[in-house]
Amino acid sequence: MVTSLTKPPALLIRDLLVSHWTPGNTAGFDPSITDPTDAKFLPISRGWYGVGQSGADPHVSLTNFGEGVIGGGQTGISAVKGDGSGVAQNRSGTGRATVFAEREQDYNDESAADVVDLIRTEIERIALANPTPGTLAYWSTDWGGASTDTDVTPAVEMSTVSISYGYVRD
């Protein structure tokens, strides 16, 4: 069945993460908390929230989203709707979720590197448990690696998750 996306894929994925998050898996950090003064606040944004800002919470940035048509040749048409009412495109795309935490911070008795790893693992768990979310035909993740960025002050621990997704656009 052809369905239209209700939001851009990055926002659909953000909503999926928030709605399926288990704070007990991530040292209590919870993206459903909206109060930035709460010690368990975990923003998931489409930008580089708080990078290099002293006291920034651990956070997830959803960036580098792009997509294209699968097949379709010069017309870009991948399929005809089952009822014959028009055409559709099979689309696939990629993006990235980057998890950040300040290296010198103590996060609920966890190191920044441990918190980053817990959050990355939770993102991957949600993808495995929900492979066909809503209007996306599929989404999947692949660990992209971990590193420490010492070019910013304070230094941050980071881990990247590559995201692949697909859907039908009518």
Domains in the chain (CATH in brackets) are 9-169 (3.30.2000.30)
Please say whether the beta carbons of 79 and 90 come within 8 A: yes
- Report d(CA 130, CA 123) in Å as an integer: 11
Q: At residue 67, does pLDDT exceed 90?
A: yes
- The pair of three-digit structure tokens given for residue 145, joined into one six-digit string: 């690696």
Half-sphere exposure of 119 (CA within 13 A, CB side): 34
Residue 66: the pLDDT is 94
Give the span between the Cα atoms of 153 and 170, in whole angstroms.
Answer: 46
In the chain, the percentage of residues whose pLDDT exceeds 90 is 42
Closest by CA position to 101, among listed 34, 146, 46: 146
- Of 44, 73, 70, 74, the closest CA to residue 57 belongs to 44
| 164 vs 29: CA distance, rounded Å | 25
In three-state secondary structure terms, 142 is strand
The percentage of the chain sitting over the pLDDT mark of 70, rounded to a whole number, equals 93
**pLDDT confidence of residue 51:** 53
Band of the pLDDT at 165, cuts 50, 70, 90? very high
* Residue 129 pLDDT exceeds 90: yes
Least confident stretch, 85-89, 109-113, 141-145, 151-155: 151-155
Range of lowest pLDDT (29-33, 91-95, 121-125)? 29-33
Largest Cα separation within the chain, whole Å, is 60
Cα–Cα nearest to 107, from 54, 155, 57, 153? 57
The pLDDT, as a whole number, for residue 94 is 97
How does the average pLDDT of the chain come out, rounded?
86
Taking only the tens place, the pLDDT of each residue in 9-62 is: 999 999 999 999 999 999 889 999 888 888 888 888 887 666 545 455 788 999
- What confidence category does residue 1 fall into, taking pLDDT thresholds of 50, 70 and 90? very low
Distance CA 136, CA 17 (A): 14
What's the pLDDT at 78? Answer: 84
